[in-house]
Structure 1
C-alpha cells in the first residue's frame, strides 16, 4: 500500500521512469478526455513494457512477502498484539523498497483508488491486481504446507485458512467493520500521499511517512481484528481461501474493502483535497 514524490517536472520525470503512462506536457486534457482515458488502454500505455513488468513483478513479490510474514504471524501466535505488530512492521519496509518500482499497492482495493485518481493506467491496474492475487496465493500455499493441520487454530476472521465469520449477524458486523476500517486506512493514506492543490502523488519512500502508514495498519488491525479479522485487503483473504478451498463469507472481504476504499477516497476528496484547492484560490 503507498508513496513520496515531488511536484511539477520532478513528478513528470519520475512518472515516465517508473509508471507506464504517457505524460502530456503540452495540453491539459478536459474532464471528458480524462474520463475516456481512465477507461481505455492506450497504445502509449504499452510504450514501456520493461517498466510495466517491473511494476507487476514488484506487486507480486511485495504481496508474497507481506502474506508470508503476516500469515506466519497469525499461525505462530494466537495473540492480537503480536499479529498487529508484525503486519505494521513489515509494511513500511515493503513500501520503502517497492514504492518507486510498483507504487507498493499490494491491495486490489487501493489499486482501484489509484486508478480512479489516474496515478496508474487501467492496464497497470488490471495486471497489478492479478499479481497481487497470485502473490497472495503463492505465499498461502507455502504456509499451508509448512504448518501441520493440527497447529492451524481456528480464527474468526476469514483471513486465514478455514474460518467463517459466523451467523447472519456476524456477517453484517464483519462487512461494516471491513468498510469502516478500510475507509479510515485509505483516507489517511491519501492524506499522506496526495498533497497540494493538484493532489500530486507522493510515494512514502521516506521512512517517516512509511512508518505512519504502518502505524495506521497497526491501529486498524487492533480495532478490527476481533470483529472480522481486519482484512482491509481482498488479496489478503483470497490466497488462504483459494488454497484451502474455503469460501464461506469470502465476499465480505471483497465488498467491504472496496466499498470502504471508495468511501475513504470520497471523504479525502471532500475534506482534504478541496481545502488545498480553496487555499490555492485564496493565494491567487
Structure 2
C-alpha cells in the first residue's frame, strides 16, 4: 500500500484539518471533564444524603438515583457536544465507532488520549469540590468482594456491548428515517439500564470512569478489568453491528436473495 493509501486508511490526511480536529478534541476533553466531575459529585451527594428522619438512603434507592443521574448527564453532554465530535467521552465507544468506520484510527487514538486527560481532570474537580467528611473513595469502582475478576469482566463486557450497540444504532445514517427517536435519550437510558442491572457488582462501562477516581485516590483494585471488559465489549459490539446489524448490509443481503429467487422462478418457468 502506498503512503497516500495509508494516509487515507489510518486518517493522517484528515488530521491536517487543524481547525476541525482541535474543536473535536477540545469537545471530547470538555465532555469527559464534565462527565466525571458531575457523575462523581452526584454519587458523593446521593450516598451522603440523609432522609427527613436522619436515616441514610437505602442502597436500592441510591442505585436508581445514581443510574438516572449518569444517564441524564451523558444525554446532556451528547446534546451539547455531539454535533462537533460525536461526544464519545468513552474509549469503548470510540473503539466501536472505529470498527464501523465512523472515525479513523489516528483520530480515535487522539480521542482516547484527551478522554483520559479530561476524565482525570474531572475527577480532580470532583475531589476539590467535595467535603473530606463525605468524599469517601470518590466513587471509585471497587470490585464486589464475592465476585471473581472474570465475572466482573463478563458484566462489564455485557453492559458496554449494549451501550456501544445503542450508540452505533442511533448514529447509523442508513436508519435515519426509521424513527429511532432521541439519540441522547436512548444512549442515556442504556447507561441507566446498565447501572441498574449490574450494581452493586460493577457499573463502569467506561474506562475513564474507573481511571479518574483511581488516579486521584490511588485505588487500583483489579483496575485492568475496567479497561479490558469495556474495550472488549465495545470492540465486539462494533464487529457485530458492522457484520450483522448495519442496515445497508441487510439491504444487500435481501436484494441478493430476491435476485436468487427470481432466477429460480425464471428457470422453473422455462422448464
Alignment TM class, shorter chain as reference: 0.7 to 0.9
Tell me the CA shift for residue 145 of structure 1.
2.1
Alignment of 1:40 with 2:22, yes or no, is no
Contiguous gaps of at least 5 residues in structure 1: 1-29
Alpha-carbon contact 1:92-1:207 (below 8 Å) kept: no
Report whether the alignment pairs 1:59 with 2:28: yes
- Calculate the TM-score normalised by the size of structure 1: 0.75
Structure 1 residues 53-104: Cα deviation after superposition (integer angstroms, max 9, x where no partner)? 0000000011111111111111111211111111111222211221121111
- Contact 2:96–2:239 (CA<8 Å) still a contact in 1? no
Root-mean-square deviation (CA), in Å?
2.8
In 1, Cα distance between equivalents of 2:95 and 2:182:
25
Structure 2: which 5+ residue stretches go unaligned? Answer: 48-61, 260-271
Residue correspondence of structure 1 range 82-161 to structure 2 within 5 A? 82-153=65-136, 160-161=139-140
Task: Give the aligned length.
Answer: 240
The answer (yes or no) to whether the contact 2:28–2:88 under 8 Å persists in 1 is yes
- Please list the CA deviations of residues 92-137 of structure 1 after superposition, one character each: whole Å capped at 9, or x if unmatched: 2211221121111100111122222222222221221111111111
**Which SS does the other structure have where 1:160 is aligned?**
coil
1:262 is matched with 235
For 2:212, the equivalent position in structure 1 comes to 239
The runs of at least 4 aligned residues of structure 1 exceeding 6 Å deviation read 32-35
Q: Within the alignment, does 1:214 sit opposite 2:188 as a pair? A: yes
1:161-201 CA-partner distances (Å, limit 9, x unpaired): 4x5315584322211110111111112221222253xxx8x
Write the distance in 2 (CA, Å) between the matches of 1:223 and 1:134.
29
- 1 CA distance for matches of 2:16 and 2:253? 37
Distance across 2 between alignment mates of 1:186 and 1:219: 13
**Residues 90/167 of structure 1: CA separation in 2 closer, same or farther (3 Å cut):** closer
- In structure 2, relative to structure 1, the CA distance for the partners of 1:222 and 1:169 (3 Å cut) is closer
- Indicate the structure with greater helix content: 2
Q: 1:171 aligned to 2:171?
A: no
**1:23-77 CA distances to partner (integer Å, 9 max, x unpaired)?**
xxxxxxx9x99995576353x2233101000000000011111111111111111
SS in 2 for 1:119: coil
Question: 251, 257, 260: which is aligned to 1:276?
Answer: 251
Give per-residue Cα distances to partners, 1:208-228, cap 9 Å, x unaligned: 222111111111111122211
